Amino acid sequence: MKDQEKTKEQLIKETNDLRARVAELEESDAERRQAKEALSQSLEKLKRATGFIIDVIVMVVETRDPYMAGHQKRVADLARSIAAEMNLSGEIIDGIGMAGLIHDLGKISIPAEILGQPRQLTDVEYSLVKTHPEIGYQILKDIDFYRPVALIVYQHHERMNGTGYPQGIKGEDILPEARILGVADVVEAICRHRPYRPASRIDKALKEISQYSGVLYDPEVVDACTRLFSEKGFRFKSR
Ligand SMILES: [Fe+2]
């Protein structure tokens, strides 16, 4: 009988210990949830601040060059859609979108008279224009974006066979985001009205990227971009 009493007391004690342990776990779970919530709020704040910085940069660049108005936005839209078509993650898509919106930022250091020329550029003028990815990178490299935005901007004119600029890097050495942005930039540029020539049609742009698929452009990106226009009904929103 005495042994049975002891067992009963032990059971009560063990049950109470277990209850206390469960309460402790619930408390630490609540703390973890609070920490997670605080972290996601900070990330949201960082994303809003980043969005604001990007909006300001877009305004500065486009104010200087009337022919650039909307270009970066249209390139960003197409680049995001290509990345989504390639089933890349939401974070990667956001990074491409941000880089797309400001990819020509470095052009703020190029004289407006050159950018707004209603004719083809001379070799000297063109070599000056070609400095814009590096200048954009230098401006952005110390900003703490949560994606490699500065590097994507730096590499958006690199080409698969190494004939791009400014570094002349090849294939996999080019960030996938920059390979996507490069194709979106070329397609938009061919479709866009320029001071020295009227806008071409999208079929001309798709012909260009498929002709140089694997040479200048990443074949996976070319395929995704082509599917968007020919099967998924993608169109640029505004001119
Ligand atoms: Fe560019």
pLDDT tens sequence for the chain (239 residues)? 566 666 888 988 999 999 999 988 988 888 899 999 999 998 888 888 888 888 888 888 777 776 676 889 999 999 999 999 999 999 999 999 999 999 999 988 888 788 777 778 889 988 999 999 999 999 999 987 878 999 999 999 999 999 999 999 999 999 999 999 999 999 999 988 655 555 568 889 999 999 999 999 999 999 999 999 999 999 988 65
pTM: 0.80
Calculate how far, in angstroms, residue 85's C-alpha sits from the geometric centre of ligand 1: 23
CA distance 116 to 61: 13
Calculate how far, in angstroms, residue 114's C-alpha sits from the geometric centre of ligand 1: 14
What the chain holds in terms of domains, given with CATH numbers, is: 57-230 (1.10.3210.10)
Calculate how far, in angstroms, residue 133's C-alpha sits from the geometric centre of ligand 1: 6
- How far from 144 is each of 49, 124, 135, 140, 155, CA to CA, in Å? 11, 34, 17, 9, 18
Calculate how far, in angstroms, residue 43's C-alpha sits from the geometric centre of ligand 1: 29
Calculate how far, in angstroms, residue 156's C-alpha sits from the geometric centre of ligand 1: 7
